[in-house]
């Protein structure tokens, strides 16, 4: 026998607010920024950029969910922006990976410090 009613189950957990999602998005963005700036491997840099884009997606969906104007919250604007960002991130990853493969075939390295194709 449970000492509390079923509708009180959610009250034992700490309620998630907009601040929690913003902190999560900020932490993920900082992890992605650190990964993009500190790595020398081009694939790791791309992974850091993808983490940053996912952090932006989390904050957009959180802002849409916690919108105080209920008429605007029904329009799903945050979710639509997140789908556009996911689409752009997929296209960016495809083009970047194709570029990395082309550079690897020419230079036999994907080290970012050794890639200087744009220099004279």
CATH architecture of the domain covering 17-109: Orthogonal Bundle (1.10)
- Token output for 45: 């840099």
The domain ranges of the chain are 17-109
Cβ–Cβ < 8 Å for 28, 54: yes
Burial (CB < 10 A; 0-12, 13-18, 19+), residue 78, is: buried
Q: How confident is the model over 35-39, as a mean pLDDT?
A: 92
Beta bridge partners, 111, equal 41
Kindly report the pTM of this predicted structure: 0.76
Q: How confident is the model over 9-32, as a mean pLDDT?
A: 85
Beta strands per DSSP E along the chain:
none
- Token output for 62: 């959180």
Span 79-102, pLDDT tens digits: 888 999 999 999 999 999 998 898
């Amino acid at each position: 026998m449970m000492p509390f009613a079923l509708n009180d189950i959610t009250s034992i957990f700490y309620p998630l607010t907009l601040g929690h999602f913003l902190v999560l998005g900020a932490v993920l963005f900082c992890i992605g920024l650190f990964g993009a700036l500190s790595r020398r491997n081009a694939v790791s840099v791309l992974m850091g950029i993808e983490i940053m884009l996912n952090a932006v997606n989390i904050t957009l969906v959180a802002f849409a969910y916690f919108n105080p104007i209920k008429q605007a919250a029904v329009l799903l604007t945050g979710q639509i922006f997140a789908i556009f960002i996911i689409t752009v991130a997929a296209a960016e990853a495809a083009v970047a990976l194709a570029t990395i493969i082309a550079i690897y075939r020419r230079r036999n390295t994907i080290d970012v410090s050794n890639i200087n194709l744009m220099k004279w």
